[in-house]
Amino acid sequence: MTRERKRRIEGFIALALSTLAALLGLFWLIFILGDVLVHGLKALNLSLFLNDPSPPGTEGGGLRNAFVGQLIITVFATLIGVPIGVLGGTFLAEYARGRKIARIISILSDIMVSVPSIVIGTFIYAILVRPFGHFNGWAGAIALSIIMIPVVLRTTEDMLSLVPWTLREAAFALGAPYYKVITQVVYRGAATGILTGILLSIARVAGETAPLLFTSFNNSFFSLNMNQPISSLTVTIFQYAMGPYDNWHEQAWAAAFVITIFILLLTITGRLIIKWRYR
Amino acid sequence: MAAISKKNPVDLIFSFVTAIASFSVIIFILGILYVLVSESSLAISRFGIIKFLTSTDWNPVTESFGALTNIYGTIVTTFLSLLIAIPVAIGIAIFVTEISPNFLKTPIGIAIELLAAIPSIIYGMWGLFTLSPIMSNYVEPFLKKITAGIPLVSVLFQGTPMGIDILTASIILSIMIIPFTASISRDSFNLTPAVVKESAYALGATKWEVVKNVVIPYSKLGVFGGIVLSLGRALGETMAVAFVLGNNHRITTSLLDAAATITVTLANEFAEADNDVYLSALFYLALVLFVMSFITLAIAKFFLLKAERKYSR
């Protein structure tokens, strides 16, 4: 075999393997999504959203408590996390721009984004659950907001940095103080980007389970009281999937379907906005 | 710009508020560290550091706790998942940057990103109900059969294939971390200057030789950073593993045995820890995990920053 031929064959094999790798990635995605779709659609019905769970082992019932609980926890996490994240990002991109402290905080935030969420759960357990003696919704919402803050902070910083400096100078020239320049000029220029960051951060925390296991815990009854344990879809999926009843498994699949679709829609929307606005 | 900001009192307040918001990140990190250390002080004083990290005993009844089985499970699953994920992820990156026709690049990029967006609880549930039966009925008996006579290798596949084991957990973990390594590798590959590649082509190199000898060496810092980042992710992944690893505090040589990782132990035992030493030992585990993953992620960030500096030059 000539050297030339050997190189050709080697190249062909390597490129074929790469193509196989890409197909494997697609295969997993289709496999997982398809599975969630098939099982989820089968179990999906109206009573899932309208009824509360029936006693274990009996047929029927729904997950109204979990849907509502998940919504409340996520909304409160967003209400706490987004303002802190946006303001923090503002500091890094505006007041501390180019300073060492801004770099340190952005690097730490990038690390925080990937810190195991279960560790944040144990942290919140120690400061917000144990002192009060019972699991509560607030602890869950705050745990999620701590996961959210670095995500929002980093996207805000990046998006504000994209706003041209000349725009700020134009506003300064009119005599506007810096805070007015930021709130009325810079924020407006970066609004879509910040919104995208918020969407993606909601998508990030909406599927979190580990930090909720020992903060908001779970509640098999309908509850709106954030001072008490509150149910969430993800923790319910965990308990139902691990549980012994077929009925539970079906409902877990349905819940998994709803939450997956919700998160994928948020993610795709976010990506599309970035594409449409920033490329 | 600082001069402008000092003049207006509202501006001073606004800058102060934003500063506090951004310092919250540092406060959280220090707060987590402080709380975990103080909560685990009971376990630290009782078991020490070396003894805790090297003891395989995990027994709530006798109140004797050591972390080694958890650390072992964490490291084995992480290592195995990287072993599976790295070649696949780099293959995907090569496909997307060098082979794929243009109209396929975006859809495949989006597909990989979606793989990263699926919540880990879904991976776990899918693993339990779909992958685990496939593993126990088909894959694991097959692996047992073909490795049966080979010394050393056959040790890895001893025991009854149950599907709830290290191998299944590692496969699920690998699927979860493929997107991170793949997208960072793709971005790094894309930064290779076209001129450098073209000159290699002009010398008569094949496409694979260009990838192997030009693109990968040029972007290795970024790729390495991506790998370490997904290593950090795999260390801390909880729900995907919690479903399919069992919770077995034993050091096993077989990949077909159940095991425990730090995260799985925390997820399963934290809410039911009924005495102070037990709870304190769990906080100690969380502390070990936090320190391990923080260091790993910091290393990843270091390499990615270094890569960024190199490419921007």
Say which residues have a Cβ less than 8 Å from residue B38's Cβ, sequence separation at least 6. none
Chain B: closest CA distance from residue A159 (Å) = 16
CA distance B119 to A263: 8
Calculate mean pLDDT across residues A176-194: 91
CA–CA gap between residue A271 and residue A199 (Å, rounded): 10
More confident residue, B1 or B88: B88
Tens digits of residue pLDDT in B44-59: 999 999 999 999 999 8
Q: Does B244 touch chain A (CB under 8 A)?
A: no
Nearest to A123 among B32, B229, B238 (CB): B32
Cα-trace Rg, chain B: 24
In this prediction, residue A47 carries a pLDDT of: 87
Task: With CB atoms and an 8 Å threshold, state whether B22 touches A87.
Answer: yes
| Section A181-191 average pLDDT | 92
pLDDT at A223: 85
In 3D, which of B175, B77, B157, B165 has the Cα closest to residue B128?
Answer: B165
Q: Which residue has the higher pLDDT, A61 or B32?
A: B32
Q: In which band, very low, low, confident or very high, does the pLDDT at B223 lie, cut at 50, 70 and 90?
A: very high
Kindly report, residue by residue over B257-298, the tens digit of the pLDDT: 999 999 999 999 988 888 899 999 999 999 999 999 999 999
Closest CA to B263 of A208, A122, A204, A31: A122
Q: Report pLDDT for B271.
A: 83
Of B19, B21, B32, the CB nearest to A119: B32
Question: Does the pTM of the predicted model rise above 0.90?
Answer: yes
Q: Give strand pairing partners of B59.
A: B64
Percent residues over pLDDT 90 in chain A: 75
Structure tokens at B65: 């706790």
What is the reported pLDDT for A1? Answer: 67
ipTM above 0.95, yes or no: no
* Section B140-159 average pLDDT: 87
Q: Is residue B7 scored above 80 in pLDDT?
A: no
From CA B121, how far away is CA B161, in angstroms rounded? Answer: 23
Mean predicted lDDT score pLDDT of chain B: 91
Nearest to B182 by CA among B91, B308, B298: B91
Query: Inter-chain contact A25–B92, Cβ cutoff 8 Å?
Result: yes
**Does B22 contact A146 at a Cβ distance shorter than 8 Å?**
no
Q: Tell me, yes or no, if A264 comes closer than 8 A to chain B by beta carbon.
A: yes
Rounded CA gap, B21 and B202, in Å?
A: 54
- Residues A20-70 pLDDT 10s: 999 999 999 999 999 999 999 998 888 888 888 888 777 778 899 999 999
Query: Which of residues 133 through 172 in chain B touch A, CB cutoff 8 A?
Result: none
Mean pLDDT over B7-27 rounds to 92
Q: How far is B144 from chain A (nearest CA, A)?
A: 23
Over residues B147-152, mean pLDDT: 84
Looking at CA atoms only, how far is residue B260 from chain A in angstroms?
15
User: Closest approach of chain A CAs to the CA of B142, in angstroms?
Assistant: 20
User: What's the pLDDT score for residue B5?
Assistant: 45
Interface of A with B in 55-74 (CB under 8 A): none
Q: What is the DSSP string of B247-266?
A: ---S--S-TTS----HHHHH
Percent of chain B at pLDDT exceeding 70: 97
Tell me the per-residue pLDDT of A110-149, one tens digit each, with 9 for 90 and over. Answer: 999 999 999 999 999 999 999 998 899 999 999 999 999 9
User: Is the CB of residue B255 less than 8 Å away from at least one CB of chain A?
Assistant: no
Highest mean pLDDT among A52-56, A245-249, B106-110, B168-172: B168-172
Give the chain A residue nearest B237 (alpha carbons). A116
pLDDT surpassing 50 at residue A257: yes
pLDDT exceeds cutoff 90 at B162:
no
Band of pLDDT at residue B154, cut at 50, 70 and 90: confident
Helix H segments across B151-238?
153-156, 166-190, 194-202, 207-210, 216-236
**Average pLDDT of the residues in A214-218:** 88
pLDDT at A236: 94
Has residue A9 got a pLDDT over 80? yes
Given a cut of 70, is residue A195 above it in pLDDT? yes
Restricting to A residues 140-199, those with a Cβ less than 8 Å away from any Cβ of B are 146, 149-150, 153, 172, 177-179, 182
What is chain A's mean pLDDT, rounded?
A: 92
Residue A181: the pLDDT is 92
